[in-house]
Structure 1
């Protein structure tokens, strides 16, 4: 008899995973177009990055990983906003890695999740908040120690402190976290002293990778790193100058609201 979990796999449980580069697979939630990434090594070991977003989606992602015969070794959170620290029963036993342990506690993150209007419109129950992440193991400074392909950990202070991106030099893939999105404006950490400067430094850090494939935390995978970085710089330049620079990413109600808040905080 097949394992019990395999008997439960149905079309509405499994998550579609699209291979965007060798060994890098991405799936996208209906909520905020949130991406989950699975990096798979030659032996089937895999790293699950930012599993999202509802409980059925996270459970379905874990089921798909198992159905493909992969073995997850850890979960990576690019940063500590509620939609990037989600968990599920099939992932909870795994180490949760990040570049730093944030001050925000699980209760606060859960309250932010439960108050989110877009998530509330979804029929599925929310995924649970994971236990606090621990520092990732390094085989050399800034390089993740794990069985799969080389992953460089890029740490910066844009959007959240800390925030990380993962760069795979072997395939030139950049898993960018909540940056370089085709549907989101740059979302600043308004609690920082110099949020725009922090963001510009992070853009330079990510652009210097020369990545050929960009996986944003929200939106579509692209092969246009330079164009995305230029669009973000143009937005930030206009924001600081108080100019109403056209940007189609401000068209949704929630990005328009975020833009208004940022304009009030840093615009002239």
Structure 2
């Protein structure tokens, strides 16, 4: 796992015994993506595909070391490149720290990311797996945070790569284009919780923030459920709101839900 200077965005590598490597959410600056690719080469690993946990701008980046690889995501609608540019520009305008980082460290354009064909998981009826030559990886699609969100479970390692969920830094950030953003997020949390039990997950790696063990994973599930309850009632004392950026996002969500 590597952590970006932008929003503590995480990139993860799933590596097989023969060096076959799946790159998950490469980002965020061009230098960081290139550094990730260089680290793979130094270790003698062989990247074969890239997984984007969802279509937001900081999770679909191209760059040296991953350019030309198959790019996969879960099903559901994904933002067009023009939406990507608009989304990134809006966040940059609202966040001076982000603007400074992106001004100093350019990015490559987003890659063309396509839905991965579902392949039944032989040991877990009703669950799909990633069709690739590395370790068994289960796919957990849902519509929390983004309509095309797809978490991964690295089965033999008991690791959940959950994208923009279960963060120790960010409260649940809803999909403001959804007809039922809170309901979609609740459903997403329950799907992740079910996968945790089904596959005996012992480690969580969020899309932003720090990894955690099983106790921390359970704590984050409870914290995110509580945050959603509090959001509906109009008040929250979640400690993650101490971050000004997170507090602003929370205020916008409150305003959208209670207008």
**Given the two structures, how large is their TM-score scaled by the length of structure 2?**
0.89
1:255 alignment counterpart: 246
Quick check: 1:99 aligned with 2:65? no
Aligned mate of 2:220, from 221, 228, 253:
228
* Secondary structure class of the residue paired with 2:195: coil
1:8 alignment counterpart: none
* Secondary structure class of the residue paired with 2:112: coil
1:251 deviation in Å? 1.3
Structure 1, unpaired ranges of 5+:
1-25
2:141 alignment counterpart: 155
In 2 relative to 1, CA 183–103 (structure 1 residues): closer, same or farther, beyond 3 Å? closer
| CA-atom RMSD in angstroms | 1.6
Q: How does 1:116-131 map to 2 (within 5 A)?
A: 116=92, 117=95, 118-122=97-101, 124-131=104-111
| 1:186-229 deviation digits (Å, cap 9, x = unpaired) | 00011111111111111111012222100000000001211000
Q: For the Cα contact (< 8 Å) 1:46–1:148, is it kept in 2? A: yes
Aligned mate of 1:62, from 10, 25, 37:
37
Structure 2, unpaired ranges of 5+:
121-126
Q: For the Cα contact (< 8 Å) 2:75–2:115, is it kept in 1? A: yes
Q: For the Cα contact (< 8 Å) 2:143–2:149, is it kept in 1? A: yes
Q: Determine which structure has the larger helix proportion and give its number.
A: 2
Q: For the Cα contact (< 8 Å) 2:78–2:148, is it kept in 1? A: no
Quick check: 1:238 aligned with 2:224? no
2:112 alignment counterpart: 132
In 2 relative to 1, CA 59–87 (structure 1 residues): closer, same or farther, beyond 3 Å? same
In 2 relative to 1, CA 247–125 (structure 1 residues): closer, same or farther, beyond 3 Å? same
1:95 deviation in Å? 0.5
In 2 relative to 1, CA 64–77 (structure 1 residues): closer, same or farther, beyond 3 Å? same
Q: Distance in 2 between matches of 1:88 and 1:119?
A: 19
In 2 relative to 1, CA 267–222 (structure 1 residues): closer, same or farther, beyond 3 Å? farther
Q: Distance in 2 between matches of 1:53 and 1:237?
A: 32
In 2 relative to 1, CA 226–238 (structure 1 residues): closer, same or farther, beyond 3 Å? same
**Given the two structures, how large is their TM-score scaled by the length of structure 1?**
0.86
* Secondary structure class of the residue paired with 1:188: coil
| 1:95-125 deviation digits (Å, cap 9, x = unpaired) | 1101136342213313432442333221642
Q: Distance in 2 between matches of 1:112 and 1:135?
A: 21
Q: For the Cα contact (< 8 Å) 2:57–2:110, is it kept in 1? A: no
